[in-house]
C-alpha cells in the first residue's frame, strides 16, 4: 500500500485530534458505559467534535518545532503556556508544571519536584508526541533524544519519558509503512523493562482472539503512560482500518480521549489522512486552532523535512 509522506504527516496530526475528540465525551468511563453511548457497532458518530488537552499540547509541540526548525525546550514550554486553556481538561501534574513554568522556573526544572520528587509517569507527554514521531521518523536516535527532552518539560519520570519515546517510535514506524515488523522493532527500541514486558504481551494478545477484558487486564487503559501507550499500539496492530482501530481503542474505556488520540496518531501516520472517516473530520472543531490550522501545521512539518 503506497501512501505519500505528506498525507501521512497530516494523517498523524488529524488522526490524533479526531481520536481525542471521539474519546473525550466518555473519558474515565468503563467499557460497558462507553458501549451504552456509542453502541456496539460501527460507524460511530462523533458527538461534539471538541478536542482536549491532548490536542492542545500536540499543537504546541508542532508550533515550536516549526518556529525553531527543531527542538527548543524554552520555546516549547512557552507555547504550552500560551495555548493553555483549563477547560480542555489537563492532568494535575501537567497543570502544576505549567504553573511553575509560568512563574519563571526553567523548562528543565519545572517538572522535577512533582509527585514527591519522582516526577510524573502520566501519559501527558506521550499523548502530544505525534509531531516528533513524524519529523524524526527516519532517525531513531534523534527521535528518542527529542522525545525525552520534550517530555521533560512536564514529565520527568523515566516511565513517562519512555512511554513518549515508544509512542513516537510507533508513529515513526507507521510513517515508514512498517506494520508487520512493528512489535519486534519496538522491543529492540525500548529500554525499560515495564515496556518490554507490555510489548511481549501485545504479541501474545495479537496471536489469539483476545477479549477486551483480557486486553485491559494485560495492557491497561489508564492515565499512566505504561497503561495507555501499549493498548494504543495494540489497537492499531489488531485492525487494518483507521476507523476500526480508533473505535476499538475508545471502546476499551478508561482514558479514552488519550488512547484514542495515540491510536489515531499511529493509524493516521500509517494509512494517511484520506483513510480518516470524512464525517469525523467534518465534525472536528474549527476556529483559530481547529482542523484547518492543524492541517497547516502538518504541512509545515512536512516542509521542515525538505530543508
273 is an interface residue for Mg ion by CB under 5 A: no
> What SS3 state is found at 224?
strand
Q: Could you say which of 7, 55, 64, 120 contacts ligand F2R (CB under 6 A)?
A: 120
The gap from C-alpha 278 to its chain's centroid, in whole angstroms, comes to 21
99 is an interface residue for ligand F2R by CB under 6 A: no
Residue 288, classified by CB atoms within 10 Å of its CB into exposed (0-12), middle (13-18) or buried (19+), is: exposed
258 is an interface residue for Mg ion by CB under 5 A: yes
214 is an interface residue for ligand F2R by CB under 6 A: no
Q: Using an 8 Å Cβ cutoff, are 168 and 147 in contact?
A: yes
Residue 280 interacts with which of ligand F2R, Mg ion, none, CB < 5 to 8 Å by class: none
Q: Is the dihedral of CA 170, 287, 284, 31 positive or negative?
A: positive
33 is an interface residue for ligand F2R by CB under 6 A: no
Decide whether 19 or 133 has the Cβ nearer to Mg ion. Answer: 19
Q: Which residues contact 293 (CB under 8 A, 6 or more apart)?
A: 59
Q: Could you say which of 3, 26, 53, 166 contacts ligand F2R (CB under 6 A)?
A: 53
Segments in 153-286 forming alpha helices (H): 158-175, 182-189, 193-206, 212-219, 229-238, 242-251, 256-271, 278-283
Residue 162 interacts with which of ligand F2R, Mg ion, none, CB < 5 to 8 Å by class: none
Q: How far is the CB of 198 from ligand F2R (least distance, A)?
A: 16
224 is an interface residue for ligand F2R by CB under 6 A: yes
Which residues within the stretch 161-180 sit at the binding site for Mg ion (CB under 5 A)? none
> What SS3 state is found at 122?
strand
Pick the piece of the chain touching ligand F2R (CB under 6 A) from 32-40, 115-123, 141-149, 195-203.
Answer: 115-123
Amino acid at each position: 500500500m503506497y501512501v505519500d509522506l505528506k498525507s501521512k504527516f497530516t494523517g498523524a496530526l488529524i488522526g490524533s485530534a479526531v481520536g481525542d475528540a471521539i474519546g473525550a465525551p466518555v473519558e474515565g468511563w468503563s467499557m460497558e458505559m462507553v458501549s451504552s453511548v456509542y453502541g456496539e457497532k460501527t460507524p460511530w458518530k462523533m458527538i461534539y467534535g471538541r478536542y482536549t488537552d491532548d490536542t492542545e499540547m500536540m499543537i504546541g509541540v508542532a508550533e515550536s518545532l516549526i518556529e525553531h526548525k527543531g527542538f527548543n525546550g524554552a520555546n516549547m514550554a512557552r507555547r504550552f503556556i500560551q495555548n493553555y486553556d483549563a477547560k480542555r481538561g489537563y492532568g494535575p501534574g501537567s497543570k502544576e508544571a505549567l504553573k511553575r513554568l509560568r512563574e519563571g522556573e526553567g523548562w528543565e526544572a519545572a517538572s522535577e519536584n512533582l509527585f514527591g520528587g519522582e516526577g510524573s509517569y502520566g501519559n501527558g507527554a506521550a499523548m502530544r508526541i505525534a509531531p516528533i514521531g513524524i519529523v524524526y521518523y527516519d532517525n531513531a536516535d534523534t527521535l528518542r533524544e527529542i522525545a525525552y527532552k520534550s517530555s521533560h518539560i512536564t514529565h520527568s519520570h523515566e516511565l513517562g519519558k519512555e512511554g513518549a519515546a515508544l509512542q513516537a517510535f510507533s508513529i515513526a514506524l507507521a510513517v515508514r509503512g512498517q506494520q508487520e515488523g512493528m512489535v519486534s522493532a519496538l522491543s529492540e527500541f525500548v529500554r525499560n523493562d515495564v515496556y518490554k514486558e507490555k510489548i511481549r504481551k501485545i504479541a501474545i494478545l495479537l496471536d489469539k482472539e483476545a477479549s477486551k477484558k483480557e486486553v485491559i487486564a494485560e495492557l491497561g487503559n489508564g492515565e499512566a503512560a505504561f497503561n495507555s501507550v501499549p493498548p494504543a499500539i495494540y489497537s492499531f496492530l489488531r485492525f487494518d482500518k483507521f476507523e476500526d482501530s480508533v473505535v476499538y481503542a475508545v471502546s476499551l474505556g478508561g482514558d479514552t480521549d488519550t488512547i484514542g488520540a495515540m491510536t489515531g496518531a499511529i493509524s493516521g501516520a500509517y494509512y494517511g489522512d484520506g483513510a480518516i472517516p470524512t464525517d469525523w473530520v467534518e465534525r472536528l472543531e474549527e476556529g483559530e486552532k481547529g482542523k484547518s490550522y492543524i492541517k497547516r501545521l502538518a504541512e509545515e512539518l512536512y516542509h521542515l523535512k525538505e530543508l
